[in-house]
Amino acid sequence: MIAIVDYGAGNLGSIEKALRYIGAEVLLTHDPAEAASADGLVLPGVGAFGHCMSGLESADMRGAVLDFIGSGRPFLGICVGLQMLFTESVEMGSRQGLGVIPGRVIRFGDTVGADLKIPQIGWNSVRYRPGAALFAGIPQETRFYFVHSYYPAPESETVVSATADYGGDFCCAVEIGNVHATQFHPEKSGSAGLAVLRNFAALCA
């Protein structure tokens, strides 16, 4: 069973529908005990980093997410669910994240994309490193759907599993042990996104 963290933010309906479409058993939950019993955990996120962190904490799910990650079972963050894994974000000042991955979340225009339309909205090609679990069987330069103004800048490049180009290369996916996350929305990315979700579900099986 794959649990989706329901903390009042995120594209929950689309993620649940996509996972059910590929045949996964899915549970939407705001109960730490239910999350703890899952085979895999998905942390979605839409909107501002600070609001998502506040929602996670208000739902008493911050500890449940960190405990699940610590258990070694497969974890998937999506969009702001990726960003929240980092130490901090510059959005709306400086806001602390979950601190799973050292690094900051920064805005397009700070280091890349200075002359581009922000936010990035639409399809973009993704290049992944060989062996990246979420991208198994997916051709390089496959296009996925993005909606974001901020992106993660990890302290170590070793956690970066995929990049995309928007005025310059940026990290659009990470993999570190059992932790996987994407800046793009697999649930909105058609057949390619479903392939990513199938790969995650296979890790949870």
Question: What would the pLDDT profile of 39-79 be if each residue is shown by its tens digit?
Answer: 999 999 888 888 899 999 988 999 999 999 999 999 999 99
The confidence score (pLDDT) of residue 114 equals 61
Q: What value does the mean pLDDT take over residues 17-40?
A: 96
Q: What value does the mean pLDDT take over residues 111-125?
A: 83
Q: List, by residue number, the catalytic residues.
A: 79, 185, 187
Peptide bond into 119 cis (omega under 30): yes
Tokens standing for residue 79: 């969009």
* Domain regions of the chain by residue span: 2-204
Which top CATH class is 2-204?
A: alpha beta
Which amino acid appears at position 61 of this protein? M
Give the dihedral of Cα atoms 135, 108, 6, 128; nearest 10 deg.
Answer: 10
Cα 8 from Cα 5, distance rounded (Å): 9
Evaluate if residue 115 carries a pLDDT over 90. no
